[in-house]
A and B are shown apart, each in its own frame.
Chain A
Amino acid sequence: MDRETSIVGNLALAEQWPKFSDTEAEPALNSQVAPNRTTAAARSLRLVTPAVSSANKSREPGEKLETLKIRVRELYDEFMKWPGSYNQLLLSGSLDYCRSVITQLKQSSGELQDKMLPLINDYYSQCQGISRQYQKELNLRAKSTSASVTTFIEERSSVRRLNLQALQDKFELLQERCADVHVYPRLVDLDPADIPAE
């Protein structure tokens, strides 16, 4: 399938998904089919946001940062297993950037952490949505056919055909915000030698 005619709406779909804060539980699934989904991936199930527990709401910013950093790292590791492509590097590279931002944020004020954390969390949720979409599609296939390792790899490969321009734009905005508050430079201004060790 041509990139230009591919799943342009996929990211728009991801926009509909809940924004998981680091304090939220894993989302539940229901069987409601969202409208305007043009692909098998887009026909899959919709996520439902669970209520945020009051206990989690009281977490300290530093604690939230650490939780988010772990989640970002896990998702980064997941994308690193996917076959190499332009989009795979967009996803893994931008999450690597988020990891560095979180590392730098730990040295910032609680106020700044509170300001930046939702932005990173929002971006993370978008990336997570893409991963979940493919995982779900994979599970559906596994039920309908005897999925092989090849099928699994092919499924992950299909991320290369997605139009992730909207995600790329969102990442640009995240970089600008991080640079504006002097937490971490934009990639174009970043000296690779200055990337904090993880």
Chain B
Amino acid sequence: MQRLEGFSQIAYDTNVLVYYCFEVSIPDANPKRIIRAQLTPHTKAITETLKSNGQKITTILDAYRELEDVVNKVVVKELDTPRAKQMLGIAENAPVRQQTKLHVQTAVARHIKKLKAASWFVLNHEFTPSPTAFASLRRFFDSIPLADLGDSDPASAVDIKLVNFGAVSQIPLVTNDGGIHKFAGRLQAAGLAYRIYDLKALNPS
């Protein structure tokens, strides 16, 4: 967390916001069940530390707008794991019903929408990358061989805007997207990015 000290704002990508909000309780279950994504406790710990330091979390409007699709992807991926089935109290060989997935999806999306009202969260409505900067980043990401990406998705337009947002605003970007953080050093060396951190590599203490 020392790496994030001294900054008044830290940028999160949409996945990180979703992990932060992915905590759904089922009050009527006995015993009471709480469904979390695997990275939720880690993301919460980091965010709570930042909040206690008076730092704010920010993201750009384009990243925020894609939250529903990101929520869907994360929910479907997380709930199809044996770990999630255990949390849900259903047998490992039983499918997770669509109505359960819908409940979790709706709850997580609702949490994220509430972020807008949080005093520690800043949604940047103004930022737009310059066409030149966007094109330079696009060329950079397009030049990455598929073999170097591994399992990661290639950078999307929103990813590029977030990287440029960090660079222009001199704000560190926290992401779980390997298609971005794996290339942080090269991006910085090329003068295309500011600091980019892998969510999993951050230590909350």
Partner of A86, one of B27, B97, B107, B109: B109
In the complex, residue of chain A having the shortest beta-carbon distance to the beta carbon of B62: A2
Interface CB pairs A-B, < 8 A, 13: A2-B65, A84-B73, A89-B72, A90-B105, A92-B98, A93-B100, A93-B103, A94-B102, A187-B99, A188-B103, A191-B26, A192-B97, A193-B89
Partner of B99, one of A80, A85, A195: A195
Q: 0/1 per residue, B66-88, Cβ < 8 Å to A?
A: 00110111011000000000001
Contact B28 A189 (CB under 8 A): yes
Q: Which chain B residues border A152 with CB–CB below 8 Å?
A: none
With contact pairs A90-B102, A93-B102 given, residues A84 and B97 touching in the complex (Cβ less than 8 Å): no
Contact A193 B90 (CB under 8 A): yes
Q: Which chain A residues border B28 with CB–CB below 8 Å?
A: 185, 189-191
Chain B min CB distance to A170 (Å): 14
Total A-B contacts with CB atoms under 8 angstroms apart: 89
Bound-state CA distance A54–B72 (Å) is 44
Contact A189 B27 (CB under 8 A): yes
List residues of B whose CB falls within 8 A of some A CB: 26-30, 33, 65, 68-69, 71-73, 75-76, 88-90, 96-103, 105-107, 109
Q: Which chain B residues border A189 with CB–CB below 8 Å?
A: 26-28
Chain A min CB distance to B167 (Å): 25
Cβ of A43 within 8 Å of any chain B Cβ, yes or no, is no
Bound-state CA distance A188–B24 (Å) is 9
Chain A min CB distance to B86 (Å): 11
Bound-state CA distance A135–B90 (Å) is 35
Q: Which chain A residues border B107 with CB–CB below 8 Å?
A: 188
Bound-state CA distance A190–B102 (Å) is 12
Cβ of A141 within 8 Å of any chain B Cβ, yes or no, is no
With contact pairs A191-B28, A192-B96, A195-B97 given, residues A85 and B72 touching in the complex (Cβ less than 8 Å): yes
Chain B min CB distance to A29 (Å): 30
Q: Which chain B residues border A97 with CB–CB below 8 Å?
A: 99, 102
In the complex, residue of chain A having the shortest beta-carbon distance to the beta carbon of B67: A86
Cβ of A131 within 8 Å of any chain B Cβ, yes or no, is no
Question: Known contacts A89-B98, A92-B102, A93-B99; can you find 18 more A-B pairs with CB under 8 A?
Answer: A84-B72, A84-B73, A86-B68, A86-B72, A89-B72, A90-B105, A93-B105, A94-B99, A96-B97, A96-B102, A97-B99, A97-B102, A168-B106, A187-B99, A189-B27, A191-B28, A191-B33, A193-B88
Bound-state CA distance A89–B99 (Å) is 8
